[in-house]
Each structure stands twice: as structure tokens, then as C-alpha cells.
Structure 1
Amino acid sequence: MLKAEYQARGPVPQDVIDAVPLELPPITAGQALVRVLAAPINPSDVLTLTGEYGMLPPLPAIGGNEGVGEVLEVAADVTGLEPGQTVLLPVGCGTWRTHLIAEAQQLIPLPSADPKQLAMLTVNPPTAYLMLREFVDLQPGDWVIQNAANSGVGSYLIQLAKIRGLKTLNVVRRESAVAAVEAEGGDRVLVDGPDLPRRVREATGGAPVKLGIDAVGGASTDHLAACLSEGGVLVNYGRMSGEPCQVGVSSLVFRDVTLKGFWLARWFRQASPQQQKQLFGELIQLIASGQLKARIAATYDISQIKDAVAAAAAGARDGKILLVP
């Protein structure tokens, strides 16, 4: 048994984490022993290793915030869960390991489906789903613009928008990313630049764009804001550029564009159990049925954690990095 543990944080994320032996005690009442099947490496995981994320666990810590596993053993008093079941792991439990012990009531049974796709259920799909629904009342045929369209969230947003009959303008930072986003079903794919608003008007025929989704920050935020129609809402959920959001006066003052932030952890803290159940219920069915999926760039074993984190932190990749113990 292995775990990917870090005892410090630093600017080079792969330098602070190591695969070390894992020892687990016998399970006790109410618990289950789970073998981890797959766990992704998200941008937030990389920022946690560098110390730049908004919520940092105490050290030492095991990496990983989401994943799926197979139940190996349950305590005698546990009902509704049995060995062999695939389960969603508790959020933030440190999923970069081969095995873990969890409270049985925190494990959500999952339908039979590709565990690698199910492993990415907890973070990126809810982020895309909620940003499409929480800020603007969009109707079929409406346009949405997003940058970082080749990211995990970007891919899910394209698919969820298409399911709802929405049309997407997808902005990327390099020409080499265009083909993959087009293959995902993006209605229009554009490379970022100062002239983005003009190209967006040409692509939409001048139709209003009510919602923008920004993961980059810096000048890219301003480019998206300038593409929005009067009264549009721009939602930021990341800063891939490492720079603060910039929005020009012409957007804020003369066109009444609003800039808002979205953090999934805050939504979970404020949402009722019923809201969370409804969210996951819909997403689980979409993933299990194959209607919602993400590209996977590469998979790694826990013993390869340094290489895996380095690959996840690299900018030019096509798809998610997964740990598959």
C-alpha cells in the first residue's frame, strides 16, 4: 500500500510530494476499507501543493480531493454497502493512495460505469453545471463564452451546454488546442487576443452573449468582458495566467457588465443536502450513460506521483491526468 504525501509546500509542486508506504489499522464500527480505483489531479490540487489555493489542509497531508474506489471490507454493523461495490470517495479525504478507510455513510454507491470517468465527478462537472445555471437564466439558443475551453471544466461545459440547447464560444490560448475543442462539439473555437470581441460578433452574427466564464484572469478577463452584451455576467473561477482579473471601464460602466466569482467549495458549504443530492444524481446518470465524459491525457500509478504532478502542472496537454493505482 502506498500514499502520495507532502510535508511542505513549494513553487515546484512535484518536488514536495512523494510516494511513501501506507499502513492502515483494522476497520472499526461503521467503517469500510476501500481500494482506490482512480483519482484525478486537478489544477486546485497543484495549487494546494504550491500553497496558492484558497483552502489548505494541515501538514503533513495526502494529496487528492476526489476519486472512486471499490469496497473491499465493511464492518459488521454496516448496512447498504457491501464488498465489490464501486463508491464515490468523500471529498477532500486524500485520494492519492492505493487504499483508505472511510466512514461507510460517507461513501456514495455508484452505477456500473468506467471508473476513470466517475473519478472526475466531484469537482469539474459540478463547477461547469453550476456556472451555467446559477448566474444567468439561459434559454435554448443562447450563446455562452468561455476561455480555457480545452480544460476539464471547459470540456464539461461544452457538453452540458449542448444538452441544454445552448451554443458555446470557446476561447483557447494556443492554435494547437483548437482541433480538440472542435472535436468536443464547441460551436465556435477562437484563439484569445485583443480583437476577440470583433471575431465573436462575426461568429454570432451580433447575437447577445449574456454569460462569460473565465478561468484565466489578467487581460483575458477583459477580452471576455468586452464580448458580453449589455448587462452580461462574467464569472471567474480561476487564474491560470497567475494575474488578477482585469476589466475595462467601458464594460463595467457603459455596458453594465458584472464580474462575479465562483468557488465550488463555498457552494457545497451553503447548499442543502437535497440540492447536493439532486446535483450529483443528474451528473452521475449523465456520466454513467456516456453523455458526459472527459478526455484523459495519461494515467499514472501512485509510485509515479512526481511524474504525474509534473504532467498535470504542465500547460500544453490534451486532457486530464489520472492516478490509477
Structure 2
Amino acid sequence: MLQAIYEHRGPVPQDVIDAVERETPTPGIGEVLMEVLAAPINPSDVLTLTGEYGMLPPLPAVGGNEGVGRVVACGEGVDGLSRGQTVLLPVGCGSWATHVLAPARKLVPLPDDADPEQLAMMTVNPPTASLLMSEFVDLQPGEWLIQNAANSGVGGYLITLAKLRGLKTVNVVRRESAVAPLQEQGADVVLVDGPDLAERVAEVTGNAPMRLGIDAVGGAATDHLASALSDDATLVNYGMMSGEPCMVAPRHLVFRNLNVKGFWLARWFQHATREQQQGLYGELAGMIASGQLAARVHARYDVADIKQAVAEAASGERSGKVLVTPAG
């Protein structure tokens, strides 16, 4: 089998990772061997390779935190899983590989007739998008929210989920070429970021109340969102695509009582009950299987081409997710 392995971290993510051949393991007691069908490359994966993410695995490590596999073999004592079954891989399993070995108790059976590429992107981005809209502000159908990095994986899911919940979205991007794809997806409003963002938002929404802002960029972009929000609104940050700390002018905090929060999916999982987690993933899996929820795929790469895949994922000129699809 092939695994995408990195033994150190550095500023150029594709330079630290290589496809390495390893002997395909045999599952032991309670273990399952799977061939990987698809595994995405997320911004957090890139930051893990550069050493900038908030939680880093010990080295050496296999890249990839989520994905979908097909059961190849089961060890003794494994019940409820069979050869050929589609399963959700455990978070942090090292999914950029042709095969993954994991404990059976950590696997989640998935619909065999659903698109494995869409299911492979289910673990991180869809729940993040869903929880960003529900954990901080009790938005009601017909209300507006604003997000930047709207052409990201989370941003795309958020647009779809908001529409299903009856919410309207202002979607901010950093380049003009990203506007049309989001409009085609059905985004209510798409604007290119800038210092005058608040004025343009007020104009296109008719000065509608804006109680929730979602920021994944940081830097001055955070303050642009803050300026577009209503008094007493909540601004939630979940990323720093600009590489810069969040900037929020004191006037928003002091005179307008803006609430600034942070969100990390891993921390939510630490506190959520098993029933809450199962409920969230059950809902999302159903939407993906029915075709209601889908993300754009920009490119597909074999594990052998992991350097090119990571370089593509780290670039800013993409129109969707980069996937590692070793079985394709």
C-alpha cells in the first residue's frame, strides 16, 4: 500500500510530504482493513503540514484527517461490518493512503449507494457549517447572516444549509472570479471584500438586521464583517486564511456591544454527547445521500501524486475541494 507520510513540518507544505510504500497490514482482533475511496485535503491539513494548526500529531505521521473507505477484511471479533461495506473513516486516521487499518468500534457504516466523494467530505466541513449557524445565535427563518471565505468548503455547505433552514446569506469572497460560481450555487448575495463592505451590505439587504457574522479569514477582513453587523450581534471566527490575527476596532466592542467568539469543531466534540454527535451526522448523511447537500470538487489525485495534490490544495485559485482518490 501507499501512504502519504511526513517526518517534519515546514513553510512549504508539499515539500514535507511523500508517498511511501508500506506492507499492507492484516487486521487483528477487533480491527478492520479498508481501501480508501476518497479523502479530502482541508485547510487544516495544510496548516498541520506547516506546523500552524492548533493541534499537531506526533511525527512521523500520515496525512489526512477524514475520508471514506470500503471494507476489505475484518479481524476476529468484528460484528456488524462486512466485506465491501462503505464506512466513514475515523477522524485523524491518516486517510491519504490506499489502505487504512482501524478499530471496528470507530467506524460508521454509510449508505452504499451514496456518492463516496461527497461522503468523504462529511466529517469536518458540513458539521462546522451547521454548528456555526446554530450554536451562537438563534436565527429564525427569513433572517440574514454574513460570512467571508464563502467559496471555501465550509462556505459552500453553509450556503446550502442556510437555504434549507430558510435563512438568507451575504457571501463575501476575496476575488471577482469567485462570484459567479457562488451565484450559480444559489447564494442570495455575493460581494467582493473591501473597506466599504458595510455600506454595500446595507444597500443590497435594505438595511436588514445582521445578527451573525462568520469569519474564516482574519486580518482586516474580520473588521469589515464587524462593520456590517447590527449592534449586539455576534461575530464568530473559525479560521485565519489570511495568516493574520483578527482585527476588530474597539468601537465595535465598546460602543456597539459586539460579541466575538471562536469555534473549533474538535472542542465541540469534546463536550457534545454521543447522541448529539450521532444526530448531527445522521442528519448530514441523509442530506448527502439524497443529493440535498454537496460540495464542488476541484481536482482528484492519486496518493502517488500527493505533492501535487497538496500544492493544489494550498493555492488560492481553486473552485472546490481537492481530493485524494486512490481507488479511482
Per the shorter chain, which TM-score range?
over 0.9
Distance 1:114 1:235 in 2: 31
2:228 partner SS: coil
Deviation readout 1:252-278 (Å, 9 max, x if unpaired): 111111110000111111111111000
Displacement after TM superposition at 1:249 (Å): 2.0
- Deviating above 3 A after TM superposition, structure 1's stretches of 4 or more consecutive aligned residues are none
Deviation readout 1:201-251 (Å, 9 max, x if unpaired): 001101100000000000000000011111100000001111100111221
Matched to 1:244, the amino acid is: P
- Whether the 8 Å CA contact 1:7–1:61 is kept in 2: the answer is yes
Matched to 1:145, the amino acid is: I
TM-score by length of 1: 0.99
TM-score by length of 2: 0.98
Partner of 2:53: 53
Distance 1:24 1:37 in 2: 16
Matched to 2:87, the amino acid is: V
Partner of 2:277: 276
Count of residue pairs brought into register by the alignment: 325
Matched to 1:279, the amino acid is: L
Matched to 1:162, the amino acid is: K
Matched to 2:47, the amino acid is: L
Query: Does residue 237 in structure 1 map to residue 234 in structure 2?
Result: no
Matched to 1:288, the amino acid is: A
1:176 partner SS: helix
Displacement after TM superposition at 1:72 (Å): 0.8
Distance 1:86 1:248 in 2: 49
Partner of 1:172: 173
1:153 partner SS: helix
Matched to 2:21, the amino acid is: P
Question: 5 Å matches for 1:294-309?
Answer: 294-309=295-310
- Whether the 8 Å CA contact 1:31–1:75 is kept in 2: the answer is yes
Displacement after TM superposition at 1:26 (Å): 1.9
- Whether the 8 Å CA contact 1:71–1:85 is kept in 2: the answer is yes
Distance 1:146 1:277 in 2: 27
Distance 1:238 1:65 in 2: 17
- Whether the 8 Å CA contact 1:24–1:101 is kept in 2: the answer is no
Partner of 1:247: 248
Partner of 1:119: 120
Partner of 1:31: 31
Q: Percent identity?
A: 68
Query: Does residue 101 in structure 1 map to residue 101 in structure 2?
Result: yes
Gaps of 5+ in 1: none
Matched to 1:33, the amino acid is: L
Question: 5 Å matches for 1:199-218?
Answer: 199-218=200-219
Distance 1:54 1:23 in 2: 32
Partner of 1:64: 64
Deviation readout 1:39-90 (Å, 9 max, x if unpaired): 0000000000000000000000000000000001112321110001000000
Displacement after TM superposition at 1:183 (Å): 1.2
Distance 1:9 1:184 in 2: 36
Displacement after TM superposition at 1:308 (Å): 0.1
Distance 2:71 2:45 in 1: 25
2:243 partner SS: coil
Partner of 1:80: 80
1:226 partner SS: helix
Partner of 2:264: 263
Displacement after TM superposition at 1:25 (Å): 3.1
Question: 5 Å matches for 1:151-162?
Answer: 151-162=152-163
Distance 1:184 1:61 in 2: 36
Matched to 1:249, the amino acid is: P
Matched to 1:77, the amino acid is: G
Distance 1:24 1:303 in 2: 16
Distance 2:36 2:26 in 1: 17
Distance 1:25 1:277 in 2: 30
- Whether the 8 Å CA contact 1:71–1:87 is kept in 2: the answer is yes
Query: Does residue 225 in structure 1 map to residue 219 in structure 2?
Result: no
Distance 1:25 1:71 in 2: 13
Greater mean alpha carbon deviation, residues 302-311 or residues 269-278: 269-278
Matched to 2:160, the amino acid is: Q
Distance 1:138 1:318 in 2: 29
Displacement after TM superposition at 1:291 (Å): 0.4
